[in-house]
Amino acid sequence: MAAYGERDPLLDGYSGRAPLFPLPNVVLFPQALLPLHIFEPRYRQMTADALAGEGLIAMALLRPTSGEPTAIHDIVGLGKIVSHERLPDGRYHLVLRGLARARVHREVPTDRLYRLAELEILEDHGPLPAAQTVLARRLLRKFEHMFPNVKSHPVWTAVADSHVSLGMVCDLLASALPMAPEVAQHLMEDVDVLSRCRAVTLALEQIQSRQETPPPQETAMGFPPEFSVN
Residue 92 belongs to a domain with what CATH number?
A: 2.30.130.40
> Does 94 reside within a domain?
yes
Average pLDDT over residues 18-23: 97
CB 167 within 8 A of CB 196: yes
Q: What is the Cα–Cα distance from 121 to 78, expressed in whole angstroms?
A: 9
Range of the domain at 22: 9-124
Q: What phi and psi, each to the nearest 5 degrees, are found at residue 125?
A: -125, 130
Tell me the whole-structure pTM to 2 decimals. Answer: 0.84
pLDDT band for position 217 (50/70/90)? very low
Average pLDDT over residues 206-219: 60
Claim to verify: residue 32 and residue 113 sit in the same structural domain: yes
> Looking at per-residue confidence, does 144 or 86 come out higher?
86
Q: Which amino acid is at 211?
A: Q
> Looking at per-residue confidence, does 4 or 115 come out higher?
115
Claim to verify: residue 212 and residue 188 sit in the same structural domain: yes
What is the DSSP code (8-state) at residue 8?
P
Of 127, 161, 154, 147, which Cα lies nearest the Cα of 5?
Answer: 127
Please give the tally of structural domains in the chain.
Answer: 2
- Of the chain, the percentage scoring pLDDT greater than 90 comes to 57
CB 86 within 8 A of CB 49: no
> Looking at per-residue confidence, does 68 or 182 come out higher?
182
Distances (CA, A) of 78 to 44, 67, 143, 196, 221: 18, 25, 26, 19, 20
Q: What is the Cα–Cα distance from 172 to 166, expressed in whole angstroms?
A: 10
Claim to verify: residue 119 and residue 136 sit in the same structural domain: no
Q: Supply the pLDDT for residue 3.
A: 45
pLDDT band for position 227 (50/70/90)? very low
> Does 229 reside within a domain?
no
Q: Is the pLDDT of residue 215 over 60?
A: no
> Does 24 reside within a domain?
yes
CB 153 within 8 A of CB 179: no
Work out the angle between the directed axes of helices 166-176 and 181-188 (0-180°, nearest 10): 170
Claim to verify: residue 75 and residue 157 sit in the same structural domain: no
Q: Is the pLDDT of residue 21 over 60?
A: yes
Claim to verify: residue 22 and residue 105 sit in the same structural domain: yes
Q: Supply the pLDDT for residue 218.
A: 43
Q: What is the pLDDT of residues 28-50, one digit of tens each?
A: 999 899 999 999 999 999 999 99
